[in-house]
């Protein structure tokens, strides 16, 4: 250790990097974390998971009151929107949580190296003009917005924005056009729809939410349409210009055809995210990125250069905070000589709209394809939220739960949920799958009544064709 400054130097303090740094320090390793942002917590805490959920929560309450839904419960009176206060509570949540990470760094003796890091060798990194040598270096630099060629994002101007700009809009747009019917488009589109904007989602594919179960995608589209969000599917944006305070978008069918123009007050570009490696001088460490700009890793998160590891959005796999966090723990444990493992087959994903859309494991399409290859087959059990007593009582009847199991072994292969509490309910499914559970295991587990989770039990019972309440 004599000529090393640190046992572990983590680059990036997002959910991957800060968790890796804390766990490494907990394991007795001398640890530093380089972060160029003013605050710790990465995309997730500063401009991602947390601020978007703060706006989703507040806008949901506003919409319930303003649309008269609360009046139906006997809660009457008019409400007005104080957008500045709504933004202030969002900033407050971010401040509290990013400050919390700073506290955790101090508590665990993780040194925060403030500034941009760049490799100068296989075990050396420059941060703010000073070079540090570390036995192990973890790349956890995350991702940023994928640009759309020909469209210039200007978050200050608040006309063509990315997700960071869409969190900060100073007024509710008359018409917001969202480019991309993925997770960000639907979450942030929902926020501004609830606050009063007309929202049109332009999606290149013929369906929203790529990667999710086909039936769940179709059902979600129905739910969003019912909420008043408009969709232009199989449509691509070929240009956007700003004229005064408006944007004019030119769109045409994805398969080619006549172009049309759409006028918008705000355009949200949300067509995906790409790994952050610019300026990192990976070549100085002897590393290169793959065709998708990602740092390739082995199952233990090691790169091709001994002592350099990578985790989170910068490596292949879903770009999710909890995946990055689990990889952060695992990589630190591997560095410390323990066995850190992440089961990448069981990573839940949640879209935090109302209702929430959640899934874990295989889609029905994937499960069918996989089992058919070996002569097997699947069984599917479904249960509508409308038949769940708690959801119905709470006027949250939209949605369903779907359990996909191996017909022969009954082992659960995937669970998909559209429900107001889907993001919370999916944890039970993930745990059952992690334990190698069967649909029968869930069906015969006693679930508290009345809870939304009983819908998962009923869907599991439906796998054997014997649900009680439908």
* Residue 185 makes contact with ligand FAD by CB under 6 A: no
Using CB under 6 A as the binding rule, whether residue 41 contacts ligand NAI is answered as no
- CA–CA distance, 381 with 405 (Å, rounded to integer): 8
Distance between start and end Cα atoms, the chain: 65
Angle formed at CA 412 by CA 407 and CA 415, multiple of 5 degrees: 115
Stretch that binds ligand NAI, among 62-70, 277-285, 318-326, 414-422 (CB under 6 A): 318-326
Q: Does 351 bind ligand NAI (CB under 6 A)?
A: yes
Question: Cis peptide before 355, with omega less than 30 degrees from 0?
Answer: yes
Q: Does 284 bind ligand FAD (CB under 6 A)?
A: no
Size of the residue set binding ligand NAI (CB under 6 A): 27
On whether the CB atoms of residues 280 and 117 are closer than 8 A, the answer is yes
Measured CA to CA, the distance from residue 281 to residue 21 in angstroms comes to: 22
Phi-psi region of 103 (alpha: psi -120 to 50; beta: other; left: phi over 0): alpha
251 binds ligand FAD (CB under 6 A): no
Q: How far is the CB of 166 from ligand FAD (least distance, A)?
A: 8
Catalytic residue among 299, 395, 449, 469: 449
Q: Under the criterion CB under 6 A, does residue 237 sit at the interface with ligand NAI? A: yes
The one among 324, 329, 401, 415 contacting ligand FAD by CB under 6 A: 324
> Is 148 a binder of ligand NAI (CB under 6 A)?
yes
Interaction of residue 423 with ligand FAD, rule CB under 6 A: no
308, β-bridge pairs: 137
Could you say whether residue 205 binds ligand NAI (CB under 6 A)?
A: yes
**Nearest residue to 193 via CA among 63, 298, 75, 321:** 63
Helix (H) or strand (E) holding 109, with range, is none
| HSE, side-chain direction, 13 A CA sphere, residue 351 | 30
Sign of CA dihedral 46, 47, 49, 50: positive
# binding residues, ligand FAD (CB under 6 A) = 36
Distance of CA 50 to the CA centre of its chain: 11
Binds 351: which of ligand NAI, ligand FAD, none (CB < 5-8 Å by kind): ligand NAI
Q: Does 161 bind ligand NAI (CB under 6 A)?
A: no
Beta-ladder partners of 177: 200, 267
| Residues in contact with ligand FAD, shown as a per-residue x/- string from 338 to 377 under the rule CB under 6 A | --------------x-------------------------
Which of 164, 135, 175 is CA-nearest to residue 49? Answer: 164
35 binds, among ligand FAD, ligand NAI, none (CB under 5 to 8 A by kind): ligand FAD
Distance CA 159, CA 438 (A): 50
Contacting ligand FAD within 18-57 (CB under 6 A)? 34-37, 42-44, 48-49, 52
- Contact (Cβ atoms closer than 8 angstroms) between residue 390 and residue 402: no
Query: Is residue 174 within 8 Å of residue 197, measured between CB atoms?
Result: yes
Say which entry of ligand NAI, ligand FAD, none residue 36 contacts (CB below 5 to 8 A, set by partner kind). ligand FAD
449 tagged catalytic: yes
Torsion, Cα 227 232 233 238, to 10 degrees, reads -140
Q: Which of residues 164-183 bind ligand NAI (CB under 6 A)?
A: 179-183
Residue 10 gets which letter from DSSP?
E
- For 78, which DSSP code? -
Q: Compare residues 55 and 335 and give the one whose CB is closer to ligand NAI.
A: 55
DSSP 18-52: HHHHHHHHHTT--EEEEE-SSSSSHHHHHHSHHHH
Q: Among ligand FAD, ligand NAI, none, what binds residue 125 when CB lies within 5 to 8 Å by partner kind?
A: none
Q: For residues 102-141, which are near ligand FAD according to CB under 6 A? A: 116-117, 140-141
Bridge partners (DSSP) listed for residue 240: 249
Residues 290 and 244 sit within 8 Å (Cβ to Cβ): no
Stretch of residues binding ligand NAI (CB under 6 A), selected from 189-197, 199-207, 387-395, 459-467: 199-207
Residue from 210, 214, 253, 317 touching ligand NAI (CB under 6 A): that is: 210
The residue range among 9-17, 194-202, 408-416, 425-433 that interacts with ligand FAD, by the rule CB under 6 A, is: 9-17
- In the complex with ligand NAI, the residue whose CB is nearer, 282 or 320, is 320
* Catalytic center residues: 449
Which residues contact ligand NAI by CB under 6 A? 148, 179-185, 187, 202-205, 210, 236-237, 270-273, 318-320, 349-352
Which residues contact ligand FAD by CB under 6 A? 11-17, 34-37, 42-44, 48-49, 52, 116-117, 140-143, 163, 184, 276, 279-280, 312-313, 319-322, 324, 352
């Amino acid at each position: 250790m004599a000529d090393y400054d640190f046992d572990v130097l983590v680059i990036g303090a997002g959910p991957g990097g800060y968790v890796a740094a804390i766990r490494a320090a907990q394991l007795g390793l001398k640890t530093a974390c380089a972060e160029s942002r003013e605050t710790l917590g990465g995309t997730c805490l500063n401009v991602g998971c947390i601020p978007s959920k703060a706006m989703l929560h507040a806008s949901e309450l506003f919409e319930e009151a303003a649309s008269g839904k609360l009046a139906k419960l006997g809660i009457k009176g008019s409400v007005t929107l104080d957008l500045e206060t709504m933004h202030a509570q969002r900033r407050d949540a971010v401040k509290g949580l990013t400050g919390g990470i700073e506290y955790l760094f101090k508590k665990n003796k993780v040194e925060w190296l403030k500034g941009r890091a760049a490799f100068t060798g296989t075990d050396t990194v420059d941060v703010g003009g000073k070079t540090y040598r570390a036995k192990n270096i973890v790349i956890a630099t995350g991702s940023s917005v994928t640009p759309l060629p020909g469209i210039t994002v200007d978050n200050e101007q608040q006309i063509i924005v990315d997700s960071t700009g869409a969190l900060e809009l100073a007024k509710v747009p008359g018409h917001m056009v969202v480019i991309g019917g993925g997770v960000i488009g639907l979450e942030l589109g929902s926020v501004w729809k609830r606050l009063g904007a007309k929202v049109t989602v332009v999606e290149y594919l013929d369906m929203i939410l790529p990667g999710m179960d086909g039936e769940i995608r179709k059902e979600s589209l129905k739910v969003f349409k019912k909420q008043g969000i408009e969709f232009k599917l199989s449509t691509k944006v070929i240009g956007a210009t700003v004229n005064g305070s408006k944007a004019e978008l030119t769109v045409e069918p994805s398969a080619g055809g006549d172009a049309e123009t759409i006028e918008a007050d705000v355009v949200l570009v949300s067509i995906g995210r790409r790994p952050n490696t610019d300026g990192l001088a990976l070549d100085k460490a002897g590393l290169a990125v793959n065709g998708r700009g990602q740092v390739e890793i082995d199952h233990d998160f090691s790169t091709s250069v001994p002592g350099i590891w990578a985790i989170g959005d910068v490596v292949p796999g879903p770009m999710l905070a909890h995946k990055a966090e689990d990889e952060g723990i695992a990589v630190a444990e591997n560095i410390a000589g323990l066995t850190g493992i992440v089961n990448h087959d069981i990573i839940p994903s949640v879209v935090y709209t109302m209702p929430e859309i959640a899934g874990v494991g295989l889609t029905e399409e994937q499960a069918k394809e996989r089992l058919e290859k070996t002569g097997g087959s699947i069984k599917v059990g479904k249960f509508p939220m409308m038949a769940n007593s708690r959801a119905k009582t709470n006027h949250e009847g939209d949605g369903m739960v779907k359990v996909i199991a191996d017909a022969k072994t009954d082992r659960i292969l995937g669970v998909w949920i559209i429900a107001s509490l889907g993001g919370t309910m999916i944890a039970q499914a993930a745990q059952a799958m992690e334990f190698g559970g069967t649909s029968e295991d869930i069906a015969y587990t006693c679930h508290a009544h009345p809870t939304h989770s009983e819908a998962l039990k009923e869907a599991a019972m439906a796998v054997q064709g014997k649900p009680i309440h439908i």
